[in-house]
């Protein structure tokens, strides 16, 4: 049975480097470390916090010891970080010695869990630690860092403080129910509740963009067979990931890979060509194409420009592709591909030779001329992808966690009930109950309302040394 009073240890660095760091935390960890490490001057227990000492573990290794004293440490407890050589033998022996001395191996995320339990960070910030560790793009890191620094938590605290004030006034009315007095102005209460509901709904809605940043903006590549979709995927990835062939219908299933463009992670999905097919396997591939297309934030509609002699034909094909896209929330970029072929235009320059009709343009559809084979126009496509991702233009807080988005939706729902109750003249105790429900939903995000099962699920995603 684990206890928060245990001294815990774990390696905090991965394999492959020259140095390994073993982290300890818990009351008594300084004294325990003194029993294993001989400092050249003084002792770990007597050393001031935020200091580094040089010492040795007899017959094992020379080490550097970083000393932290609670509550001014990551976990809020006394901590020690031992930097030793990254020999698997040295690390293994040191961990064995720590275990023999009475410490136990930390569970996944236990150091950060202790930081949360000691009030050093809230639950949203704790989850941001895991997001920073797993971030692979600039955009992911930026969002996680903002959440770790408390940007999201401050916004939630502002909403929660307003709800607490309203709830307190309504509950005060309940204490004076016999006098039939009102401390909360109903008109102002409804205006504020409606404003907070919209605020929570907007935050929950931002999850679509935030989730794309965290897991990669999904981009479906669609078009007729042999239009150059697989070549485009390989060019975007700078890798021969998809099979390229002149035979139409080569791609029978979706192929997904990620790539970072200007600090944004994209998840590109090459799909089977859209056409009327008799082959059952190809039909299944086309069905998967349409499903993936419906789930993508951005759709690249590829047209073989060598088969288009006039702009009217290009418009017809573009409209066919647009029919598979929900332009109310998806972004569509039409690509006139194979511009390198002499049959298209011998004097291709940076300007598009195909123009989209007005009805597509007003719905945000754009068109670019490219050659997936030579790379012509790929720089403009990169810029268009980053712009369509909405990441750089999105202002305000982005929600990147499904748990947070669900809690915000629940909060907005409770506040909508408050507004409905005020409109219908419901008694104060019913309205106060809906306000308390909204407060509880917000509290599950930061950890003010939580349980061990939820904590276990959250921290199980962490690495052992964090």
* Residue labelled with tokens 């896209």: 325
**Shared domain check, 241 and 360:** yes
Greatest CA separation for the chain = 89
In a domain, 466, yes or no: no
Q: Which of 358, 389, 420 is the last residue of a domain?
A: 389
**Shared domain check, 148 and 46:** no
Q: What is the CATH number of the domain that holds 190?
A: 1.20.120.430
- The pLDDT value recorded for residue 215 is 86
In a domain, 25, yes or no: yes
Average pLDDT, the chain: 85
Q: What average pLDDT does range 361-388 have in this prediction?
A: 91
Structural domains in the chain (count): 3
**Shared domain check, 366 and 235:** yes
- The predicted-structure confidence for 73-91, as pLDDT tens digits, reads as follows 999 999 999 999 999 999 9
Phi-psi region of 423 (alpha: psi -120 to 50; beta: other; left: phi over 0): alpha
- The pLDDT value recorded for residue 405 is 95
Q: What average pLDDT does range 171-195 have in this prediction?
A: 70
Between residues 332 and 458, the one the model is more confident about: 332
Q: Is residue 232 predicted with pLDDT exceeding 70?
A: yes
Q: What is the CATH number of the domain that holds 296?
A: 3.40.50.300
**Shared domain check, 138 and 187:** yes
**Shared domain check, 366 and 260:** yes
Between residues 92 and 461, the one the model is more confident about: 92
Phi, psi at 100, each rounded to 5°: -65, -30
Kindly indicate the confidence band of residue 177, based on its pLDDT and cuts at 50, 70 and 90: low
- Decide: 55 and 42 in contact? Cβ < 8 Å: no
Q: Return d(Cα 105, Cα 98) in angstroms, integer.
A: 9
Q: What is the CATH number of the domain that holds 83?
A: 3.30.1360.120
When mean pLDDT is compared across 50-64, 151-165, 448-462, the lowest value belongs to 448-462
In a domain, 465, yes or no: no
In a domain, 63, yes or no: yes
Kindly indicate the confidence band of residue 245, based on its pLDDT and cuts at 50, 70 and 90: very low
> How many other CB atoms are found less than 10 A from the CB of residue 252?
15
Number of H helices, E strands in the chain: 16, 13
- Decide: 55 and 48 in contact? Cβ < 8 Å: no
**Shared domain check, 233 and 355:** yes
In a domain, 2, yes or no: no
**Shared domain check, 131 and 22:** no
- The pLDDT value recorded for residue 97 is 97
**Shared domain check, 379 and 346:** yes
Q: Return d(Cα 38, Cα 65) in angstroms, integer.
A: 10
- Decide: 450 and 123 in contact? Cβ < 8 Å: yes
Q: Is residue 8 predicted with pLDDT exceeding 80?
A: yes
- The pLDDT value recorded for residue 335 is 94
Q: Which of 106, 139, 169 is the last residue of a domain?
A: 106
In a domain, 1, yes or no: no
In a domain, 220, yes or no: yes
* Predicted model pTM: 0.77
**Shared domain check, 132 and 16:** no
In a domain, 117, yes or no: no
- The predicted-structure confidence for 320-369, as pLDDT tens digits, reads as follows 899 989 999 999 999 999 888 756 654 444 445 688 888 888 888 999 99
* Alpha helices, H only, 216-356: 229-237, 280-295, 311-322
When mean pLDDT is compared across 138-152, 167-181, 266-280, the lowest value belongs to 167-181
**Shared domain check, 217 and 364:** yes
Q: Is residue 161 predicted with pLDDT exceeding 60?
A: yes
Cβ neighbours of residue 20 under 8 Å, at least 6 residues apart? 11, 13, 83, 84, 85, 86, 90, 91
Closest CA to 459 of 124, 113, 132, 118: 113
Q: Return d(Cα 289, Cα 465) in angstroms, integer.
A: 41
- The pLDDT value recorded for residue 130 is 87
Q: Helix (H, G, I), strand (E, B), or coil: what is residue 264? A: strand
Between residues 226 and 172, the one the model is more confident about: 226
- The pLDDT value recorded for residue 394 is 63
Q: What average pLDDT does range 422-443 have in this prediction?
A: 88
Q: What average pLDDT does range 357-384 have in this prediction?
A: 91
Domain that holds residue 82: 8-106
Q: Which of 53, 71, 106 is the last residue of a domain?
A: 106
Q: What average pLDDT does range 426-437 have in this prediction?
A: 86
Please, which residues bridge with residue 82 across strands?
A: 22, 65
- The pLDDT value recorded for residue 212 is 84
Cβ neighbours of residue 2 under 8 Å, at least 6 residues apart? 104, 107
- The pLDDT value recorded for residue 226 is 85
Q: Return d(Cα 297, Cα 405) in angstroms, integer.
A: 18
- The pLDDT value recorded for residue 347 is 43
In sign, the C-alpha dihedral spanning 196, 198, 201, 202 is negative
Q: Is residue 308 predicted with pLDDT exceeding 90?
A: no
Cβ neighbours of residue 149 under 8 Å, at least 6 residues apart? none
Q: Is residue 426 predicted with pLDDT exceeding 80?
A: yes
Between residues 287 and 102, the one the model is more confident about: 102
- Decide: 119 and 167 in contact? Cβ < 8 Å: no
**Shared domain check, 97 and 202:** no
Q: Return d(Cα 160, Cα 404) in angstroms, integer.
A: 14
**Shared domain check, 156 and 91:** no
């Amino acid at each position: 049975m684990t206890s928060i009073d245990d001294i815990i240890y774990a390696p905090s660095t991965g394999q492959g480097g020259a140095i390994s760091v073993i982290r300890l935390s818990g009351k008594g960890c300084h004294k325990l470390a003194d029993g294993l490490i001989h400092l050249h001057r003084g002792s770990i227990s007597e050393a001031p916090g935020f200091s580094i000492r040089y010492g040795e573990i007899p017959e094992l290794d020379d080490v550097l010891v970083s000393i932290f004293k609670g509550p001014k440490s990551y976990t809020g407890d006394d901590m020690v970080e031992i930097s030793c050589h990254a020999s698997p033998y040295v690390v293994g022996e040191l961990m064995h010695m720590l275990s023999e001395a009475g410490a136990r191996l930390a569970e996944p995320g236990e150091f950060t869990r202790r930081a949360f339990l000691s009030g050093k960070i809230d639950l949203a910030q704790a989850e941001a630690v895991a997001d920073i560790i797993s971030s692979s793009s600039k955009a992911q890191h930026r969002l996680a860092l903002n959440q770790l620094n408390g940007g999201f938590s401050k916004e939630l605290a502002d909403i929660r403080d307003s709800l607490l004030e309203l709830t307190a006034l309504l509950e005060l009315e309940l204490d004076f129910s016999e006098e039939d007095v009102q401390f909360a102005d109903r008109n102002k209460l409804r205006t504020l509740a409606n404003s907070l509901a919209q605020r929570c709904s907007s935050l929950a809605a931002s999850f679509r963009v935030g989730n794309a940043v965290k897991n990669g903006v999904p981009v479906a590549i669609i078009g007729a067979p042999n239009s150059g979709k697989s070549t485009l995927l390989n060019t975007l990835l700078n890798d021969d990931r998809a099979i390229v062939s002149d035979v139409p219908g080569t791609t029978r299933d979706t192929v997904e890979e990620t790539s970072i463009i200007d600090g944004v992670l994209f998840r590109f999905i090459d799909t089977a060509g859209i056409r009327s097919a008799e082959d059952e396997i190809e039909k299944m591939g086309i069905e998967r194409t349409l499903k993936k297309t419906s789930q993508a934030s951005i759709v690249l509609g590829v047209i073989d420009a060598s088969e288009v002699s006039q702009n009217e034909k290009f418009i017809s094909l573009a409209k066919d592709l647009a029919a598979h896209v929900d332009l109310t929330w998806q972004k569509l970029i039409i690509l006139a591909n194979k511009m390198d072929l002499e049959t298209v235009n011998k004097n291709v320059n940076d300007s598009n030779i195909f123009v989209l009709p007005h009805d597509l343009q007003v719905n945000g559809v754009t068109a670019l001329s490219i050659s997936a084979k030579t790379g012509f126009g790929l720089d403009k496509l990169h810029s268009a992808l980053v712009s369509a991702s909405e990441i750089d233009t999105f202002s305000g807080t982005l929600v990147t966690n499904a748990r947070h988005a669900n809690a915000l939706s629940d909060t907005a729902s409770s506040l909508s009930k408050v507004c409905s109750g005020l409109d219908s003249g419901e008694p104060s105790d019913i309205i106060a109950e809906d306000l308390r429900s909204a407060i509880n939903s917000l509290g599950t995000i930061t950890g003010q309302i939580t349980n061990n099962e939820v904590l276990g699920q959250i921290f199980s995603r962490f690495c052992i040394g964090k």
